[in-house]
Structure 1
């Protein structure tokens, strides 16, 4: 393996040489123009994510890649969900078209096919739930946006490999508002697409000498951006903080309670042609606004076992019912600085949702396939008295015959219960050893669990139209293919309880060599112990009738369990340096090596203890990253640009197909690219911003995929955002803004068989500020109604041509809000 310290050693030498050269050639600088208030905030922006000190470091002086967004920048981005914030972060591609929860988030050069294994979500510097991803859970699903958020910081790679839960990919850290000496209160009313009704409130201020508090939250009800025929998003949240200012320190307590139900949107019927390069509307189905879900199937039944049926509600979707409590303590004690962060998370993150299966086909073709399947099964033929089926009848569940040319689809109505709990704590102690050199030592502890009850499969036959109708099918030999729309059994129904514990120790050294050079180094050793008790499964006919083929072979626990466990340990490091070319301009270099551990789902998929312990089957993936970047901020322009190289060694992939089959593979990857965040202010009140990245990332170490492009990640993506502010009258202004987004072509799968074409969208908005008290905002997204795909059919492995299921962007949406500040 290449020596990871070599690039950093060379970089350190270059920084020293630059410093000596600059010292010899120093000349007087002309005084710069006084920056505007907004630009001054950007120049002085302090980030606290990825640094040893609780007091943080200026963004332009940080030796790593980090994107920040304050409250106004978040509102201007108009994110449709927490995951959708990542669209403002170069090097990250977020597929947030599933709704509020269940996003797929890819990080540049990191091989992932679903969920967000390389994105950690934090609140106040604490991971909300330590593992970033489990099946049917990804970190952004455990967090909801509202007006209690002061800002977000998104760190890519860098020193995050040694702090907190050691995420080598991206860390999204939300910082809450806290009370100050100046009381502040807001109330905001919002309406928009899907009959949205939402109110956000916040108030913060001083309680007494040294004590400050804040409280806020939201209530929302909406039919959703895709009309399912029933309320889709319904929920509320409340967040509070209590802060005590200490002599040379601070203690902040925070708590959040969320109860939110969100529809989860999966694929819809589309037409694919030209090898997937051309995507068009499926006849009778608007892919921008439609969904197969309907009121007819909202309350559906699961045949779980003989004599056991369950009723579930699609309106529950992928919801969050959880509480988070935490505390941040920072104190200076003589020459020592002590910091401790902990939180406790307890919540249900259930998934009651539709998952599309096979591609659309005609009713006649479906019946012919059903006849062939029934006639090839000896048990079914015997139950029919030896009579073979020669024809079938299809009727709507609500009455009436189905035309043989009617296009139909199959979709599973799945139910997954997940009860998650976790406790995390991180302690840091720092001391200046000699002038400019500070050493930090500390430890991290996490204890977490997940209790799962799954019912996958439960296929339903329906028309390929928005708000689909369910279909019954019987064959002329007495075989019942579909009853009340159900045409498939529950094919996977494990009950499992998992426990995990991570402990880590770390040490870092930060040295301000002189007023221009700062270097840092850190190491971390971490151990993970996970275990699971998973039910063994059997197959049975829930009604003991071979003619009802839709429930034959139903998966269910057999009453016994398998206990599996796994222990791993790994080392991580980071080394970097920052050289100041001028007061607000610097260059940085960074190298790190991080890791990820296997998860609960990995050991469950292994099946046996021997397989769970097999490091070839389930490796501990390692990732090396190298970066060199440039940062500058001035009245005229702001620029954050960095080049990166990643090398990923071994990660286990799994994929659940439409028939319940699980595919497993192990691959590595490598990638190179450049990220950019550039803003130019050529005249007063006008800003032109360009953000994005170009990368070339491909798989390696697996003959089946080596040389293929890493799935779901575009080579080029960028966002161009002009903003113009128009002052009028005393303290009044109108701000116009728009964003042109370009997402390049991608592959939906590792084998590069499912092509996803590039797409372009236009968003726009206007904000009216009427004095200091009132704000009126009107914003729209995808104003050009672009038909872009974020995901192909993840339940199939082959290329798609003709009728397909895939998940497109939401169509044109709008939102209007009125805010009153008091």
Structure 2
């Protein structure tokens, strides 16, 4: 079936919304107006937490007290976002109990693990929303997790993070975690701010916002940021260079609101992977060959501009940047006795990945030459061209030509170049009506149409010393083991494809107020996904004219054929829950749901056309308690989930797919606890305890997985955050900090790659001078901990009790200090 064009769909959808907004009598009969809007969520966690309202996960799309919600949700105001000091968009997820963002790659491209949800890369169980609409319809694609599409700045009013619960019904049906950023809008009272920030890595950043009234019933805002930084891992060129610009236009109606928003991002972000370390016999880490794991990077001006063996050139400063545009429109009003909520957004972007991906482990140059010689001798064509077998070889630095000793420690980096161009259009319409006593019914549709055009050039293994200098190797029989730039191979994985997916969902929900204390809700959803996917066929062979050029053998190139997929899946989902009010400030809630996840392009690419990947089935159960008093706040949830038919797709160092199909079971408790024993003093403790194991794998096909811990997720992780507000005349000084603990965990499904636990300390101070000025000093990883969330593709890590072992891992960045000055008006 031919898909409707994105421009046509956009025009039609905006026209319908404008019709209903401006002249409802032309579309339906106008009736009673909506309730007045509740005030914005309070900026400080405390006794006022009892009045916090949320919109994410609410059936009608309206506002609901957080305390009265029958699901788990975490909120943060603009000030709380600043205090969390996320190093990236993904790092914002650290405020959510049991969620593990991996900030080691830099500003973008993080793997994000959700408690009890198995994943091995990217963020398949995370959806990023702006004003309730998904930025990109699919939660993840290879080289494109949702966090890469968005940057946090001062145009954000607050953020809400929903876990599971009713999310399987609404929007894109995300069963995992949905992070919803609510944008600041203009209001009756003009307001604005300018923030200047400097810090570690030669950071220079400016944030600005202004919003106000245009005319009666019309309001606008504009804001954004511009930033340049060399980065903590300074490669000699700007690691982060760019910014974003955001604008809103709001029109208030007698019975609702119409909102338009636009957000443009143009940002370059260097991407970091693993680096050499030593794992000691007790499981701890130490530096390797004088390399500081907190600041080291193989990136430098010597390697920034590169030419691959196939002649393709690039710039490592592009990293995993973004050049994208987001347009959206929201309509809320009453029409014909129904409350109408319509959300529309369109996203398009160029999301490249140009980065070095580290290889299996660190080895001496002598061993590298021996391995290259053995590989050359095993190649009949090379052996024939050389006339004899290689016994040894010589090495020199690619840049200077200076000889390199065989005792030099070396590592291989795959220089990967991925061009990714994506588009996404989503439309959600909800209709809500109180039908009879105590019952409120919501019906809705969700439509999504998205595409991805990819060109991948993976492999391109570059031999380097541990200081990041490329090495050229020539064997003693004349074979060139590397090209002049130090590449031991060309492209080992070549991908050229275009995929288009359309999703159609319909849902129905009923909220039933059984009594003043007890409220129940239930809902069902049925969704269809259609995918058309065309992939260029490839072949591996020799390219070039020199038969002694070993690096040209095994190069993968397109062969003129193609593989076409035309797939169709369906997914029914449901949820049932309720909340019982024990007293005005305390409630119990319970919920079960069943949903799932459709296959996405990369999973289909990794499977045969006659054996497409299945729909992952996910069942969840929650039992929670909420209470807020002036002395304490408690949000605690017992949870359990089960996965079946989960297709996990990943690639090794060479870019070769490594796929598994199975399931898992998990249970545990997550908590957000706050204690306020003294005036202006608060301690918040949040985290989770988790028991999660793989199950359902075929031991003949995927041995050694059943019964193992889910990778990337420890049995326990938690954050302790004290804060103290000190009045100083008309000014205030707030001191705050966070101690985080992340337990030991495994980095693979087979539980062979062990990563030790670690702690982290962050701290900050905020001085507010009068009504207009604020001065903030903050630091991440204050004590320079070498923490590991993720390892390196294809490497093996020794466990405690073994001999010291050289390896490559991804570590936290070193101490990051920032100073900012903000003027509000």
Please state which band the TM-score falls in when normalised by the shorter chain: over 0.9
Separation in 1 of the partners of 2:146 and 2:718?
A: 24
Task: Find 1:701's aligned residue among 696, 702, 726.
Answer: 696
Extract unaligned runs of 5+ from structure 2.
1-41
Separation in 2 of the partners of 1:355 and 1:313?
A: 15
Post-superposition shift, 1:811?
A: 1.1
Post-superposition shift, 1:274?
A: 2.7
Aligned to 1:809: 812
2:376 pairs with 1:374: yes
Question: What whole-Å deviation, never above 9, does each CA across 1:623-673 have from its counterpart, x for those lacking one?
Answer: 111101011112111110110011111211223222343221112010110
Post-superposition shift, 1:40?
A: 5.2
Aligned to 2:149: 142
Aligned to 1:32: none
Task: Find 1:315's aligned residue among 314, 317, 323.
Answer: 317
Separation in 2 of the partners of 1:551 and 1:353?
A: 21
Separation in 2 of the partners of 1:658 and 1:570?
A: 34
Contact persistence 1:646–1:671 (CA under 8 A): yes
Query: What is the RMSD of the two structures over their aligned residues, measured on CA atoms?
Result: 1.4
Separation in 1 of the partners of 2:212 and 2:673?
A: 36
Contact persistence 2:414–2:654 (CA under 8 A): no
1:585-734 maps to which residues of 2 (within 5 A)?
A: 585-606=586-607, 608-612=608-612, 618-702=613-697, 703=699, 704=703, 705-730=705-730, 732-734=731-733
Deviates more, 1:555-564 or 1:68-77: 555-564
Contact persistence 1:669–1:700 (CA under 8 A): yes
Aligned to 2:390: 389
Extract unaligned runs of 5+ from structure 1.
1-34, 613-617
Task: Find 1:284's aligned residue among 280, 290, 305.
Answer: 290
Contact persistence 2:602–2:649 (CA under 8 A): no
Post-superposition shift, 1:502?
A: 0.3
Aligned length: 773
Contact persistence 1:658–1:796 (CA under 8 A): no
Task: Find 2:185's aligned residue among 160, 178, 181.
Answer: 178
Question: What whole-Å deviation, never above 9, does each CA across 1:159-216 have from its counterpart, x for those lacking one?
Answer: 0000000000000110000111111100000011110000000001111111111100
2:460 pairs with 1:458: yes
Deviates more, 1:659-668 or 1:282-291: 659-668
Separation in 2 of the partners of 1:809 and 1:37?
A: 29
Post-superposition shift, 1:454?
A: 0.4
2:344 pairs with 1:342: yes
Aligned to 2:18: none
Deviates more, 1:85-94 or 1:444-453: 85-94
Question: What whole-Å deviation, never above 9, does each CA across 1:473-530 have from its counterpart, x for those lacking one?
Answer: 1112111111211111210111100000000000000111221111110100000011
Aligned to 1:225: 232
Contact persistence 2:43–2:77 (CA under 8 A): no
Post-superposition shift, 1:550?
A: 1.1
Question: What whole-Å deviation, never above 9, does each CA across 1:99-150 have from its counterpart, x for those lacking one?
Answer: 1111011111111011000011111100011111111110111110000001
Separation in 2 of the partners of 1:116 and 1:37?
A: 30
Question: What whole-Å deviation, never above 9, does each CA across 1:763-799 have from its counterpart, x for those lacking one?
Answer: 1000000011000000001111111111112234676
Post-superposition shift, 1:719?
A: 0.3
Aligned to 1:47: 54
Aligned to 2:160: 153
Contact persistence 2:795–2:807 (CA under 8 A): no
Find the residue that maps to 1:503 and give its secondary structure: strand
Task: Find 1:257's aligned residue among 249, 258, 264.
Answer: 264
Contact persistence 1:490–1:551 (CA under 8 A): no
TM-score by length of 2: 0.92
Separation in 1 of the partners of 2:360 and 2:99?
A: 30
Post-superposition shift, 1:311?
A: 0.7
Aligned to 1:762: 761
2:217 pairs with 1:210: yes
Contact persistence 2:764–2:777 (CA under 8 A): yes
Aligned to 2:770: 771
TM-score by length of 1: 0.93
Separation in 2 of the partners of 1:409 and 1:755?
A: 21
Separation in 1 of the partners of 2:57 and 2:452?
A: 28
Find the residue that maps to 2:650 and give its secondary structure: strand
Aligned to 1:241: 248
Contact persistence 2:60–2:431 (CA under 8 A): no
Contact persistence 1:102–1:141 (CA under 8 A): yes
Find the residue that maps to 2:806 and give its secondary structure: strand
Contact persistence 2:795–2:808 (CA under 8 A): no
Find the residue that maps to 1:656 and give its secondary structure: coil
1:65-144 maps to which residues of 2 (within 5 A)?
A: 65-144=72-151
Separation in 2 of the partners of 1:73 and 1:536?
A: 50
